Amino acid sequence: MARYVKRGKVWQYEISYKDNYGTFNKIRKSGFKTKGETIAEAGDIESRLKQGFKVNTKNKSLVTAFTEWIKVFKKGKIQDSTYGTYLSTLAYLNKYLPNATVKNIDRISYQYAINEMGKELSSGTIKNFNRQIRSCIKFLVSEGVIQYDFTQGVAIKGRGKDTGNWVKYLDFDEFEKLVSTLQKEMSPINVFSIMCYIGAMTGMRYSEVAGLTWDNIDFTNNKIKVDKAWRNDKKDFGPTKNKSSVREITIDGTFKMLLYRYKNRQNKVFSELEVTNPLNLVCWHPKRGIIENAVVNKELAQICQRAGLENRITTHGLRHTHASVLIYKSVNIMTISKRLGHANISITLDTYSHIIKELEKAEDKKVIDIFSKINRKK
């Protein structure tokens, strides 16, 4: 049975249920904006639990546990393309750890499987696999099914030159250099720069940038409205990743003027080339149409090099960089979460916990300094 509690400005649900052995357990989740959203998700979880998701079966295979977990907590709650990545993880799990059970899996056997994966797969693929498995394992740990998270501290090395100078996000100086280069190279013919520039300035996902149309830009009020995403698999617009991803992003005056000038240049160049922009897209290539994410990432690596950076980054890394810059500049975490279009603030806190902890240490030092000065006064 579900219970609903409002904590500050967000709602939380708590579901009590009985496992295979007759023991009562609880599932909690917070971060909902309205009570209606809370009730809707809790009701769905309760329904799925009744359909057969049993968490407290220690002899269950890891494949079965993960299968049940994604059906209960992911299916129907995330975009189809994202859910597809969980199914890929399930396939890898079935290939590399087919006989592992919730009871017998340990860090050594898991690391061995990760090492075997590294012989065939890239580090990026393995990191995504580990991240999704860890989410499931954290749930099982919280339920008392297993004692510890065996995915923590795993060493990941994939096939090919995958690591090197590739980073999750850039520091502030690198970010400034990259933005300067993107501004200089911006052209309707070089659509890569405008895509990366928008991603860097807004934190929008690749699919949101690719699906951005000119009518989504409010030049009067300096805002970008995100209300759809581009689906490369269907070659058409689709919904955003979640309801919270439908949002308005405030932009600065310089950014607005660059977009305005770009729009005029795009109209002029397309007219001269006798090219149409059938979908009214901001990032429409005159010959190739919409550029796929993998292609943009390759070009972004070259742009980083031209900017004089030792590090390389992906379009998703631009999103992380955008958020990191705001966190380091002490912008409210709720504002950042809304700007990124996260489903709830917990996702933002989890994703950027390493930066937040780093800043907490700096704040602790400030606190110590304050009270040290007070104590020294006589």
Find the DSSP H helices in 203-292.
Answer: 206-210, 253-273
Residues 57-89 as b/e (b if ≥16 CB within 10 A, e otherwise) read beebbbbebbbbbbebbbeeebbeeeeebbeeb
pTM score: 0.61
> Do 104 and 203 sit in the same domain of this protein?
no
Could you tell me which residues are beta bridge partners of residue 230? 237
Per-residue confidence band for 52, with pLDDT thresholds at 50, 70 and 90: low
Mean pLDDT of all residues in 240-262: 96
Mean pLDDT of all residues in 181-196: 92
Q: What angle do CA 266, 269, 275 make, to 5 degrees?
A: 95
CATH code of the domain containing 13: 1.10.150.130
Give whole-number Cα distances, 287 to 183, 188, 190, 236, 258, in Å. 22, 11, 11, 18, 23
Give the pLDDT confidence of 12-25 residue by residue, as tens digits.
888 877 655 455 66
> Do 36 and 103 sit in the same domain of this protein?
yes
* Cα(263)–Cα(269) distance, integer angstroms: 10
Nearest alpha carbon to residue 298 among 313, 287, 310, 286: 313
Give a yes or no: residue 157 inside a domain. Answer: no
> Do 252 and 123 sit in the same domain of this protein?
no
Give a yes or no: residue 85 inside a domain. Answer: yes
Our count of domains for the chain comes to 2
> Do 210 and 115 sit in the same domain of this protein?
no
Q: What angle do CA 135, 353, 173 make, to 5 degrees?
A: 130
What does the chain come to in residues?
A: 378
Give a yes or no: residue 162 inside a domain. Answer: no
Give a yes or no: residue 216 inside a domain. Answer: yes
Give a yes or no: residue 152 inside a domain. Answer: no
Give the pLDDT confidence of 29-47 residue by residue, as tens digits.
778 888 888 888 787 777 6
> Do 260 and 132 sit in the same domain of this protein?
no
Give a yes or no: residue 156 inside a domain. Answer: no
Per-residue confidence band for 303, with pLDDT thresholds at 50, 70 and 90: very high
Determine the structural domain holding residue 16 and report its residue range.
2-142
* Cα(39)–Cα(73) distance, integer angstroms: 15
What is the separation of C-alpha 357 from the centre of its chain, rounded to a whole number of angstroms? Answer: 19
